[in-house]
């Protein structure tokens, strides 16, 4: 009844030090080798909407997962879940704030996506274990992160052309942690990084395919709309 099996074999951290230690422990479990899904049929987008400040604990949040058929870009399934945040917003510990609600929504899905696209970073993270990596390890599914602003890593501005498809590596501490990708000519790029079971070129190719007209991929846009809709339904 629950195709997407999500294993959470550890106690959820309550403090920042504990959360960081957990990321360090789980980091080696993320597989950034590829190539990963070259022709996925089902790609899911995930996002979370907040009520109130959106920075503290106890805030109501609504998570959404939208599965898209890459052949037609049609939405084939949607799932949502609401919850109260159990962790404050701390850069670098973002996953501990959004994962509970996202996992709950994923468990309500009937189909098993071939790839999960998260709203946030994967490897381009201070400890190389952003939300996309964490969700990948928990689900065992290929994941990648698509962020609207950079976090860890910088790219040479001159190396990023103005055309759609142009890209430049995000480098941090001498290693490539992600890529700035232009999905639309003359528009700010999105920041793509691997999460689990997919390599960077493949992840970028999937993001570009899913963003033929807008800056953000359809998966992210659909999930964003659905999460807000779910929050309205839960609030008013």
Partner DNA sequence: GCGACAG
Partner DNA sequence: ATCTTGTCGC
The binding site for Mg(2+) consists of: 47, 119
Structure tokens at 178: 């992600």
Select from 22, 30, 44, 95 the one that contacts DNA (CB under 7 A): 95
Binding segment (CB under 7 A) for DNA, from list 27-35, 44-52, 64-72, 159-167: 44-52
Return the sign of the alpha-carbon dihedral for residues 25, 26, 27, 32.
positive
Site track for DNA across 54-83, x = CB under 7 A: xx----------------------------
Distance CA 229, CA 214 (A): 20
Measured from the CB atom, the residue of 5 and 148 that comes closer to DNA is 148
Where do we find the tokens 């962020």? Answer: 147
Taking CB under 7 A as the binding criterion, the range among 29-37, 53-61, 67-75, 170-178 that sits at the site for DNA is 53-61
Annotated binding site: 47, 119
Give the contacts of 78 (CB within 8 A, at least 6 positions apart).
Answer: 64, 65, 66, 67, 222, 226
Ramachandran sector of residue 174 (left: φ over 0; alpha: ψ -120 to 50; beta: rest): left
Q: What's the residue count for the chain?
A: 236
Distances (CA, A) of 129 to 3, 120, 123, 139, 162: 25, 11, 5, 15, 30
Work out how close the CB of 207 gets to DNA at its nearest, in angstroms, rounded to a whole number. 13
Phi-psi region of 87 (alpha: psi -120 to 50; beta: other; left: phi over 0): beta
Residue 125 engages DNA in binding (rule: CB under 7 A)? yes
Minimum Å gap between C-beta 53 and DNA is 6
Residues 137-166 that bind DNA (CB under 7 A): 145, 147-149, 151
Taking the least distance from each CB to DNA, the nearer of 25 and 148 is 148
Residues at the interface with DNA (CB under 7 A): 47-55, 89, 91-95, 119-121, 125, 130-132, 145, 147-149, 151, 228, 231
């Amino acid at each position: 009844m629950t195709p997407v099996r999500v294993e959470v074999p550890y106690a959820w951290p309550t403090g920042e030090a504990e959360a960081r230690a957990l990321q360090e422990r789980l980091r080696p479990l993320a597989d950034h080798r590829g190539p990963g899904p070259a022709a996925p049929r089902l790609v899911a987008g995930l996002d979370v909407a907040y009520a109130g400040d959106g920075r503290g604990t106890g805030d109501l949040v609504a998570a959404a997962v939208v599965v898209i058929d890459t052949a037609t870009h049609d939405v084939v399934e949607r799932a949502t879940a609401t919850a109260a945040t159990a962790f404050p917003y701390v850069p670098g510990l973002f996953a501990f704030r959004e994962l509970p609600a996202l996992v709950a929504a994923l468990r309500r899905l009937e189909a098993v996506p071939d790839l999960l696209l998260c709203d946030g970073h994967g490897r381009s993270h201070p400890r190389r274990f952003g939300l996309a990596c964490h969700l990948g390890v928990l689900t065992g599914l290929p994941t990648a992160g698509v962020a609207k602003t950079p976090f860890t890593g910088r790219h040479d501005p001159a190396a990023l052309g103005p055309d759609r498809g142009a890209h430049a590596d995000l480098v941090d501490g001498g290693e490539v942690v992600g890529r700035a990708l232009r999905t639309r000519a003359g528009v700010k790029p999105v920041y793509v990084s691997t999460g689990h079971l997919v390599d960077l070129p493949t992840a970028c190719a999937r993001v570009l395919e899913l963003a033929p007209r807008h800056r953000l991929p359809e998966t992210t846009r659909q999930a964003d709309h659905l999460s807000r809709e779910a929050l309205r339904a839960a609030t008013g």
